[in-house]
Amino acid sequence: MQISEVAEKFDLTTDTLRYYEREGLIGPIAKGNNGIRNYTEEDLQRIQFVKCMRSAGLEISFLKRYIKLFDAGDKTIKERREILVEQRKILKEKINAIIATVLSMKPDILIFDEPTIALDPKNRRRFINVLNSLKGTKIVTSHDLDLIYDTCDRTVLIADGKIIFDGDTKIVLQNKDVLENNGLELPLSLQRR
């Protein structure tokens, strides 16, 4: 696959791909006789990984260190895990700072998209408590049905672009048939009863 095709596939610029190669995040990319880069499936997997990690906020310096360790093999698993744990902590701090900044503006409407996806149980509970203490309109999109059950009075269940249910959260999230017919399960807290 040529660089323009790769750029389009991953929604990156060709300059970004060349930069990633210069920095050692990908490649070196093999070139054909005509001097044009030819990306392999392995290169594409690495690009996907780099893009994902950059989207999560991982800085280039940490990513370079991680990739160097990854390329060194399984003997570096412990060090790689430490990098990811450190970066997760930094990311959580950034998320908390962003939420605090938004809350200080006292908005009338808050929108959260999968807000608990990367939270450990303690921070998840803390987030739920904060969410419940907030005044005003809150719109939460989530597959975390326990979060929805604990924080939302009204639920709109959407499947295949259609509204399946719009009403009281407790009613829909206790309706096993409606949930299962739409690829969901009862919230875990209700499964234990």
Q: Encode pLDDT of 159-187 as tens digits.
A: 999 999 999 999 999 999 999 999 999 99
Q: Are 113 and 187 in the same domain?
A: yes
Gap between the Cα atoms of 146 and 125, Å rounded: 11
On whether the CB atoms of residues 146 and 188 are closer than 8 A, the answer is yes
**What is the average pLDDT value for the chain, to the nearest integer?**
91
- C-alpha Rg value of the chain to the nearest Å: 22
At 16-59, the pLDDT tens digits run 999 999 999 998 999 999 999 999 999 999 999 999 999 888 88
Q: Are residues 20 and 64 in the same domain?
A: no
- 21 and 46 inside one domain: yes
Q: Please give the residue range of the domain that contains residue 97.
A: 57-105
Q: Residue range 106-133: average pLDDT?
A: 88
* pLDDT surpassing 70 at residue 193: no
Residue 103 has pLDDT above 70, yes or no: yes
Cβ neighbours of residue 92 closer than 8 Å, sequence gap 6 or more: 118, 119, 123
Tell which of 55, 79, 94 closes a domain. Answer: 55
pLDDT of residue 63 exceeding 70, the answer is: yes
Same structural domain for residues 125 and 181?
yes
Does one domain contain both 71 and 98?
yes
Are 95 and 135 members of one domain?
no
Single-letter residue type at 10? F
Question: Does 118 score more than 80 pLDDT?
Answer: no
Q: Which residue has the tokens 């807290």?
A: 189
Q: Is 41 found in the same domain as 4?
A: yes
Strand partners, 99: none
- What's the domain count of the chain? 3
Domain end (from 55, 71, 94): 55
Q: Please indicate, yes or no, whether residues 67 and 140 belong to a single structural domain of this protein.
A: no
- Cis peptide, bond prior to residue 28, ω within 30 of zero: yes
Shared domain check, 169 and 93: no
Asked whether residue 68 falls in the same domain as residue 124, the answer is: no
Domain co-membership, 65 together with 27 = no
The CATH number that applies at residue 185 is 3.40.50.300
CA 84 to chain CA mean position, Å = 14
